[in-house]
Structure 1
Amino acid sequence: MQCEGDKTYGEKGSCPICKMDLALVENNSKLADDDDISEESIFNLTSMWHNEEGEAIQLKDLKGKTLVMVMIYTSCKAACPRLVADMRNIESQIPDKKIKKIQFVMVSIDPETDTPEKLKAFAKENFMDDAHWTFLQGTESGVREFANVLSVKYKEISPIDFSHSNIISVFNPQGELKHQQEGLGVDNKETIASIMEVTP
């Protein structure tokens, strides 16, 4: 018998209606997890992605860690290598005890060229193949939707070249945007401070 439908309680005791003892419910973490997501969270986006290992994931699979994200493409010869350098510079300033609670995410704006295999090779080439680095290839519509959320503008100007915004974004473990760093080779003091602040 369900007195109050799916209602759950956080403490031991008895049902206020039927007086039956409350039982501990296992595997209720999914329900609690979804309750933690606010309307501003990127984990509400349902698009599917592939990481550099070829595994299909959704953004909510990254929940629970501070996310430092940037949109790049691997064949870029101008801005992207500098964005990569900025990301690695930020990584180098994070204390070891915090690094396991942070995920550095590189999202490709060229999903046609940047296959998981290509992203994996790029990660190795740039010494970004530790567990705290993730590379994502999405669909054209998924990438466009995510770029809009980040206020990143990009445009294909030739089959192998894009013009794009240079923005590094910091999200808290609930997927809410907390800080953005715009430009190349800028002072990342505020970005580091923001990462440290939102990382438990």
Structure 2
Amino acid sequence: MKNLILTLFSTLFLFSCSQKQEVQPAKKETSAGSIFVLNSKWQNQDGKELQLKDLKGKNLVVVMIFTSCTTACPILVADMQKIESKIDKNKQKETTMVLVSIDPDNDTPEVLKAYAKQLNMDGEPWLFLRSDKESLRELANVLAVKYKKISPIVFSHSNIITVFNKNGEMTSQVEGIVNSDDVAKIVNGLN
């Protein structure tokens, strides 16, 4: 009986190994760990509506700011400009520098556009976004950014720059003031 079971098992094993396995093509769906699974709607500095998945295929360097900020945000914006200036020109075509407003009540598309022009950040690779408060909270949670309105025009918020690859998967984050090592880490992480 023991030999019969062993022979049956061996036959089944050999039969299953000899069957030609059908190769399935890899699906190119967005992974659950991708920022592109968020279904929120956004508005850019030109008033055009989009979803984050519309940015698929480019590396994203993302920061959350508000345009009336006079403390941390100007430093974050300068850090984003520093990062952008160190990206190889060929990689810049594959990268979008995204600044998301946490103050959609005041940061209208017109305000974002004027802010971008004032800082010479209008046009590629710069993108300014705004959305409703629920979508902002959702994105802030993904980025681990905390923010709180402390007056009608002032927010307290985390200073975090986040990098996503072309599939929307987070590859790195830098918190606080960016130093040259941080810039190199971010730039080298762009694929």
Report the TM-score range of the alignment, normalised by the length of the smaller protein. Answer: 0.7 to 0.9
Q: Does the 8 Å CA contact 2:98/2:129 hold for their aligned counterparts?
A: yes
Report the 3-state secondary structure (helix = DSSP H, G, I; strand = E; otherwise coil) of the residue aligned with 1:98.
helix
Give the partner amino acid of 1:176: E
Partner of 1:84: 77
The structure with more helix, counted as a fraction of residues: 2
2:87 to 69, 85, 94: 94
2:62 aligned with 1:69, yes or no?
A: yes
Number of aligned positions between the proteins: 169
CA distance in 2, matches of 1:120, 1:59: 19
1:140 to 133, 144, 155: 133
CA distance in 1, matches of 2:167, 2:180: 23
1:32-70 per-position Cα deviation (integer Å, ceiling 9, x unaligned): 6xx331100010000100000100000000000000000
1:115 to 88, 108, 117: 108
CA distance in 1, matches of 2:63, 2:40: 17
Give the partner amino acid of 2:142: V
Report the 3-state secondary structure (helix = DSSP H, G, I; strand = E; otherwise coil) of the residue aligned with 1:136.
strand
1:187 to 173, 179, 191: 179
Partner of 1:150: 143
CA distance in 1, matches of 2:74, 2:30: 33
2:158 aligned with 1:165, yes or no?
A: yes
Q: Does the 8 Å CA contact 1:181/1:188 hold for their aligned counterparts?
A: no
Distance change >3 Å, CA 192–CA 62, structure 1 → 2: farther
Report the 3-state secondary structure (helix = DSSP H, G, I; strand = E; otherwise coil) of the residue aligned with 1:128.
coil
Gaps of 5+ in 2: 1-23
After TM superposition, list the pairs within 5 Å mapping 1:30-41 onto structure 2. Answer: 35-41=28-34
1:110-164 per-position Cα deviation (integer Å, ceiling 9, x unaligned): 0110001100000000111121100001001000110011000000000000000
CA distance in 1, matches of 2:153, 2:89: 37
The TM-score with structure 2 as length reference comes to 0.84
What fraction of aligned residue pairs are identical, expressed as a percent? 53
Gaps of 5+ in 1: 1-8, 11-31
> Comparing 162-171 with 36-45, which one deviates more in the overlay?
36-45
Partner of 1:24: none
2:36 to 39, 43, 56: 43
Give the partner amino acid of 1:140: K
1:147-192 per-position Cα deviation (integer Å, ceiling 9, x unaligned): 01100000000000000000000000000111001002x3142443
Give the partner amino acid of 2:185: A
